[in-house]
Amino acid sequence: LGFDVGSTNVPTPATGVPLTFGPTFTYGATGRGVVSLTAFTFDKYGLMTAANVAHRYKGRTWEIDSGLNVSKSRSWYRDTGNGHFFDVQASLPSVSRVLYDGIKESFGYKIAALNAAGNAIDYGKLSSYTLTGATTGPRDGADTFKAGRINVKRRLDILPFEASFKVGGMVQQQDRDTNRQDSRLTFVGPDGIPNTADDNAGLYLDPKSVNEPTKFNFGIPSLEYPDLYRLWQVFQSHPEYFQRTTAQAVSAETSRINNSFSLTEKITAAYIQAEARLWRNRLRILTGVRYEKTEDNGVGPLFDPNGVFQRGANGKLLTTSSGAPIRKPEAGAVGSLAELALIRKGRAATTDRSYDGYYPSLHLTFNVTENFLLRAAYAETFGRPNLGNILPNTTINENANPTAGAPPGTITVVNGGLLPYTAKNYDLSLEYYFPKGGLISVGGFRKDLVNFFGALNTLATPALLAELGLDPTYVDWTLRSTINVSDPARVTGVEFNYNQPLTFLSNWGKYFNFTANVTQLHLQGPRATDFNGFIPKTGNLGLTFSKKPVVLMLKWNYRGRQRQSSSGAAPNAFQYLDSWAKVDINAEYQITK
């Protein structure tokens, strides 16, 4: 449909339903309407056991802090074992158009479903729907964490000023294992044929959903749902009412393979640290260096759609005279379980990487006067990739008949060898403490980042394939992954903080406290660098009244525009969360002492 936005004379579609502009408008293409309903319920269980042993000693010269801890956690979701399906699906037959009226930013709109004749269908009644399928979806996850630490500090009384020396170390290991599966059945009812009269969803209505008020302000009426417990009982007594097609069996096995992961991460660290106070305690110096080593070992799914084709001694696909690849005899039919066993392999992709480094730091605090402090610091730090970004997963899509000059196929691989990014941090701040309480401070900082994470989308080279642990036969394929961007990036920023009791106003002023802080950041870096989630501006204001037994707080918070993932609309184009501000009001009353 074509129309001019803002026009008051909008043409009427062939269905006879007018499109109007102004406070409300209506749209929806004839014959394209779809309404589906899914009801789901699952039982989530969790179990965690933990033990911790700690030792502390504090003497005049020596201080010792050590400990051991271990925790084991497990979570699992169950459905059929507890007498119900994970979810049940239903569809609304005879829908031709879906209309939305009164759309506005506050979600105040109405939804209507029409048949081909333009008559409304009551999509709130379950009897209007046809039951189409049911799903089971067990999930299992386990995590074990073990750690040990020791820290030893000694005062250096032999020096003419206050000083101490400290050493310590830590070893920790985390083991994570996860499995999940979604297996769907088609509902065919007593006649064994799907989408017929005996498949009416209203026959399996959950009475608790009748006249249940909606909890969403989306213009949706009260909805009725099928009973997942009753349908499981039907399945137990009449399994022939449910069928599993070959495609559904393949989908269930694919789900199981794609959602099976295991990862072990071990971290070993040690440090030395020295602290001293000079110039009659006006200058405090804290410096040291930390060594840390990380070892990751994991397994995950491997997808190779060309596993069904025969290869020659050179590793190339064998083809017919017409150029079509030749299938293996054991591959079975296209879309079969036999084919799936060759193209998808559970926990066949592996990662085995380690990295380490030294991270020094220096912190200086100087009391210019009793109330005026100058702070300066330098530190080298690092940030690990999330565990989800290094769990092995490889997908290979080969073009059996590529055009001249085009890549033979595409490889998408999770980079298990992704290294942490490192940063050199420079901080400088001034702080003034008011004689009657409160402070004002201003600071600036710079962070020079190296090896930050970025997206890779390029032709594969032997060096890249070796780095990602892939076969060299994939040279010149399109390679997609996450890598460490070699070009440096930089974040600079300033911070302002103010905290002031309002004692200067009057006797009542002593019950009030005002706070304010602002942070402004600036980002510089290559386009490939992934800085999703970056927020350049934040600010807060607060006023607190505290006079026992009453505490009242008024807080204003501002959050600047936040960059999200790439929009795909153009190079260097991104989606953003818009800036927003909110106000919080809190009240507290203390009933007794």
- Residue 528: the pLDDT is 54
Average pLDDT of the segment spanning 238-242: 97
Q: Residue 180 — φ and ψ, nearest 5°? A: -155, 160
Cβ atoms 467, 449 nearer than 8 A: no
- Residue 568: the pLDDT is 58
CA distance 28 to 118: 12
Higher pLDDT, 2 or 212: 212
Tokens 């420079």 belong to: 426
Ranking 21-25, 243-247, 346-350 by mean pLDDT, the lowest is 21-25
pLDDT confidence band for 530 (50 / 70 / 90)? low
- Residue 6: the pLDDT is 32
Higher pLDDT, 312 or 533: 312
pLDDT > 80? residue 473:
no
DSSP type of residue 127: G
Pairing of strands 97-101, 110-114: antiparallel
Which H or E element spans position 242? strand 242-243
Average pLDDT of the segment spanning 124-129: 94
Higher pLDDT, 10 or 542: 542
Residue 55: is it exposed, middle or buried by C-beta count within 10 angstroms (0-12/13-18/19+)? exposed
pLDDT > 50? residue 385:
yes
CA distances from 503 to 221, 277, 436 (A): 56, 34, 8
CA distance 437 to 224: 61
- Residue 24: the pLDDT is 36
Per-residue pLDDT reduced to its tens digit, 293-307? 999 998 999 888 788
Average pLDDT of the segment spanning 163-169: 98
- Residue 59: the pLDDT is 96
- Residue 532: the pLDDT is 75
Residue 500: is it exposed, middle or buried by C-beta count within 10 angstroms (0-12/13-18/19+)? middle
pLDDT confidence band for 25 (50 / 70 / 90)? very low
pLDDT confidence band for 434 (50 / 70 / 90)? very high
Residue 369: is it exposed, middle or buried by C-beta count within 10 angstroms (0-12/13-18/19+)? exposed
16 contact partners, CB below 8 Å, separation of at least 6: 118
- Residue 574: the pLDDT is 76
Between the two ends of the chain, the Cα-to-Cα distance in Å is 70
pTM of the model: 0.77
Nearest to 525 by CA among 580, 558, 578, 563: 563
pLDDT > 80? residue 256:
yes
List the Cα angle 475/479/481 in 5-degree steps: 140
348 contact partners, CB below 8 Å, separation of at least 6: 299, 301, 302
Tokens 């730091």 belong to: 361
Nearest to 168 by CA among 312, 51, 277, 65: 65
Q: Which two tokens stand for residue 70?
A: 């271990």
pLDDT > 70? residue 127:
yes
pLDDT > 70? residue 4:
no
Q: Which two tokens stand for residue 381?
A: 């730090």
Higher pLDDT, 22 or 285: 285
Ranking 20-24, 151-155, 404-408 by mean pLDDT, the lowest is 20-24
pLDDT confidence band for 474 (50 / 70 / 90)? confident
List the Cα angle 207/212/218 in 5-degree steps: 135
Tokens 């040279």 belong to: 475
Pairing of strands 409-413, 478-485: parallel
Coil, strand or helix at 308: helix
pLDDT > 50? residue 531:
yes
Per-residue pLDDT reduced to its tens digit, 59-87? 999 999 999 999 999 999 999 889 999 99
Which H or E element spans position 411? strand 409-413
Beta carbons within 10 angstroms of residue 304's beta carbon: 19
Cross-strand partners of 577: 562
Q: Which two tokens stand for residue 252?
A: 């269930």
Average pLDDT of the segment spanning 108-121: 86
Count of all residues that appear for the chain in the document: 593
Q: Residue 227 — φ and ψ, nearest 5°? A: -90, 110
Radius of gyration of the chain (CA): 32
pLDDT > 50? residue 7:
no
Per-residue pLDDT reduced to its tens digit, 448-469? 999 888 878 888 999 888 877 7
DSSP per position, 55-124: EEEE-SSEEEEEEEEEEEEEEEEESGGGTS-SEEEEE-TT--EEEEES--TT---EEEEE-TTS-B--TT
Q: Which two tokens stand for residue 121?
A: 């269908």
Say whether the peptide bond before residue 305 is cis (omega within 30 degrees of 0). no
Cβ atoms 544, 513 nearer than 8 A: yes
pLDDT > 70? residue 5:
no
- Residue 104: the pLDDT is 66
583 contact partners, CB below 8 Å, separation of at least 6: 554, 555, 556, 557
Cβ atoms 454, 482 nearer than 8 A: yes
Q: Which two tokens stand for residue 196?
A: 């017929």
For 433-487, the three-class secondary structure string (H helix, E strand, C coil) is ECCCCCEEEEEEEEEEEECEEEEEEEECCHHHHHHHCCCHHHCCCEEEEEEEECC
CA distance 391 to 411: 16
pLDDT confidence band for 340 (50 / 70 / 90)? very high
CA 221 to chain centre: 32
Cross-strand partners of 421: 383
Higher pLDDT, 242 or 575: 242
DSSP per position, 481-550: EEEEE-S-EEEEEEEEEEEEE-TTT-GGGGGEEEEEEEEEEEEE--TTB--TT---EEEEEEEEEEETTE
In the chain, the percentage of residues whose pLDDT exceeds 90 is 61
Q: Taking all residues of the chain, what is their mean pLDDT, rounded to a whole number?
A: 88
pLDDT confidence band for 322 (50 / 70 / 90)? confident
Per-residue pLDDT reduced to its tens digit, 167-180? 999 999 999 999 99
Cβ atoms 419, 484 nearer than 8 A: yes
